[in-house]
Amino acid sequence: MTPTERPDRNLAIELVRTTEAAALAAARWQGRGAKEDGDQAAVDAMRQVLATVDMDGTVIIGEGEKDEA
């Protein structure tokens, strides 16, 4: 591999890393009574990691009726 080439990466593993980052970010808010802050931390972490994934596509996120999101 040359210095300008990106390493081969597995999309499934990258998505696991994304989920992990979101969970860790949200966990910092657990038990503080600040659900919206936890949600925002998870979304911010997810976006940050997804921005590093080499893919073309549309990400669709939704929580459904529970939070009227």
Q: What residue ranges do the domains of the chain occupy?
A: 11-50
User: Which token pair is 13?
Assistant: 């593993």
pLDDT tens per residue, range 9-33: 789 999 999 999 999 999 999 999 9
67 band by pLDDT with thresholds 50, 70 and 90: low
Instruction: Calculate helix-pair angle for 11-27, 35-50, nearest 10 degrees.
Output: 150
pTM: 0.73
Per the CB < 8 A criterion, the answer to whether 62 and 69 are in contact is yes
